[in-house]
Protein backbone atom coordinates (compact mmCIF):
# COMPACT_ATOMS: atom_id res chain seq x y z
CA UNK A 1 0.00 0.00 0.00
CA UNK A 2 1.51 3.32 -1.06
CA UNK A 3 1.50 6.28 1.34
CA UNK A 4 -0.93 9.09 0.51
CA UNK A 5 0.27 11.95 -1.69
CA UNK A 6 0.00 14.41 1.18
CA UNK A 7 2.69 12.41 3.01
CA UNK A 8 5.11 12.85 0.10
CA UNK A 9 4.35 16.58 -0.10
CA UNK A 10 5.04 16.87 3.64
CA UNK A 11 8.38 15.08 3.21
CA UNK A 12 9.36 17.37 0.34
CA UNK A 13 8.51 20.53 2.28
CA UNK A 14 10.10 19.27 5.51
CA UNK A 15 13.30 18.45 3.65
CA UNK A 16 13.69 22.00 2.34
CA UNK A 17 13.33 23.80 5.66
CA UNK A 18 15.45 23.99 8.81
CA UNK A 19 15.17 21.35 11.48
CA UNK A 20 13.02 22.17 14.51
CA UNK A 21 12.22 20.30 17.72
CA UNK A 22 9.47 17.79 17.00
CA UNK A 23 10.45 17.21 13.34
CA UNK A 24 10.36 13.53 12.35
CA UNK A 25 12.10 11.43 9.71
CA UNK A 26 12.64 7.83 8.63
CA UNK A 27 16.27 6.66 8.55
CA UNK A 28 18.13 3.61 7.22
CA UNK A 29 15.16 1.98 5.53
CA UNK A 30 15.23 -0.25 2.49
CA UNK A 31 12.69 2.01 0.77
CA UNK A 32 11.38 5.56 1.14
CA UNK A 33 8.50 4.35 3.33
CA UNK A 34 10.61 2.09 5.60
CA UNK A 35 13.11 2.67 8.37
CA UNK A 36 13.41 3.67 11.98
CA UNK A 37 11.49 6.71 13.20
CA UNK A 38 13.62 9.56 14.55
CA UNK A 39 12.34 12.74 16.20
CA UNK A 40 14.55 15.81 16.44
CA UNK A 41 14.71 17.17 19.98
CA UNK A 42 17.42 19.50 21.28
CA UNK A 43 20.19 18.40 18.97
CA UNK A 44 20.91 15.04 17.38
CA UNK A 45 18.30 12.78 15.81
CA UNK A 46 17.63 10.10 18.48
CA UNK A 47 16.02 6.76 17.63
CA UNK A 48 12.48 6.19 18.80
Tell me: the pLDDT tens digits for 16-31?
557 788 888 888 888 8
pTM given for the model: 0.51
- The CA–CA distances, whole Å, from 31 to 9, 13, 27, 36, 42 equal 17, 19, 10, 11, 27
Element (H, E) at 25: strand 24-27
In the prediction, which pLDDT does 30 show? 87
Domain boundaries, the chain: 5-39
Q: How far apart are the C-alpha atoms of 2 and 6, rounded to whole Å?
A: 11
Q: Is the pLDDT of residue 37 over 70?
A: yes
Mean pLDDT calculated for residue range 40-47: 74
Q: How far apart are the C-alpha atoms of 8 and 10, rounded to whole Å?
A: 5
Amino acid sequence: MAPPRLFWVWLLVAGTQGVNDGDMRLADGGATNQGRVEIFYRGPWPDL
